[in-house]
Amino acid sequence: MTLDRSTLFIDGAWAAPTGDDTIEVVSPHTEEVVARVPEGTPADIDAAVDAARRAFDSGPWLRMSPEERIEVVQSFSNLYAGKLGEMAELITTEMGSPTSFSNLAQSPAPWMMIESFINIAKAFPWEETRPGALGSDVIVRREPVGVVAAIPPWNVPQFTTISKIAPALLAGCTVVLKPAPETPLDSYLMAELLQEAGVPAGVVNIVAAGREVGEHLVAHPGVDKVAFTGSTAAGRKIASVCGEQLKRVSLELGGKSAAIVLDDADLATTMDGLRFTALMNSGQACVAQTRILASRAKYDEVVDALAQTVASMPVGDPGDPATEIGPMVARRQQERVEKYIALGQEEGARVVVGGNGMPDGLDRGWYVRPTVFADVDNSMRIAREEIFGPVLSVIAYDDVDDAVRIANDSDYGLAGTVWTADQEAGLDVARRVRAGTYGVNTYTMDFAAPFGGYKSSGIGREFGPEGLAQYTEYKAIYPTAPAM
């Protein structure tokens, strides 16, 4: 089966691109081209936005009842459920996510997200009547925000796409999706499912392209809202454009999350948890707990346990079910992570396991050695900057107050965990750390609850009723004149 594509998805049809350039999708494992797709141009974006604008301004989608939209999205969800294996395989092929993670999170989680948003939409207060302060009732409506520019990253492409597409559709919005150039293939499969589900023409349009074309989409006057997941640096630029245009925006950005290991924590249980939460998707995850905080009394014990855990994780072919750490998405990302490993040593941190160089047994692919640093100070760049790879820093703390201080001493505030035998002590820490999501002896995302970050980790929330509300505007209607 060839993975090449020659068209874009615009106005409900497969449309020829206006340019001749193509995006080569390269396997991070073999470094070989696995597919070619058209590279969208500004003219393609214009056509996609025009289609979305027409669909919103005069098409049927906005004018359907919430129940009618829910029915179409449910059809999409049912079709999606039948393609989970194919979707997971595509994502492993295009970005190197270990197949174990792809079949756990890259496709099942987006499907669960769709189902969750459907249930939320069924109970959502699309229109409510409340008593007014002047004596008469007031009708409060939630109406769709309009045309949405959805821009996901490459690390969890469907997860971050569906977190935008599902609530936007249920709210009655129309969408222009710009997949990352590293991971365009999954969006083609999604487009086929949307089409089969009966989503009207122009409601979802898909144009894969690079950064410059993405900037054209963000600034397009036909776009009412931008929903972006990606780097904090890119998020700042997008926020600036949206602020100048008074365009709605939601940003899910970077993280440098801390896992606090309290002295009473069971180390075996903690290491089982950190095996996933610290190194999920080969460390290419914004919520990864890459700062491990251990007390000075237990520091050496935690470092040794973490080193043994990381050293035991199989590195290699992402298509092998036994693999836990796969390649970086691109050569530039491999080089970025290696530079941080070298920087950590220059800063005085000690490599306990890993370090620069290809993992044993591998002579091709964009791999790095999973690395644990000890003797890390929280002021070091490896402790402050998002590396986005399998690199962990173990930082010592004096007491619980000091651990909370260190966890909060970050430009980011996306996620975090605390590991302890005392549930109440863990909840106390959770309430004190300034992060949008937090786990006690676990880390997860419940799609019924809001997800997002404090500080430089973003603006707004995804998931839950709060995530659906991001795609609506409030309107107050006064059905009668108030008594004066």
d(CA 259, CA 406): 11
Alpha helices (runs of H) in 60-198, residue ranges in sequence order: 66-81, 84-95, 99-101, 108-123, 157-171, 185-197
The catalytic residue among 94, 115, 173, 286 is 286
Inter-CA distances, 160 with 164, 197, 249, 301, Å: 7, 20, 15, 37
| Residue 182 is a catalytic residue | no
3-state secondary structure at position 387: coil
DSSP 358: P
| Residue 242 is a catalytic residue | no
The catalytic residue among 252, 324, 338, 462 is 252
Contact indicator for 38, 22 with CB cutoff of 8 Å = yes
> Side-chain half-sphere of 198: how many Cα atoms within 13 Å?
10
Please choose, from the candidates 162, 226, 177, 147, the residue with its C-alpha nearest in 3D space to the C-alpha of residue 45. Answer: 177
d(CA 335, CA 339): 6
Contact indicator for 460, 250 with CB cutoff of 8 Å = yes
Please choose, from the candidates 241, 240, 218, 219, the residue with its C-alpha nearest in 3D space to the C-alpha of residue 228. Answer: 218
Catalytic residue numbers read 252, 286
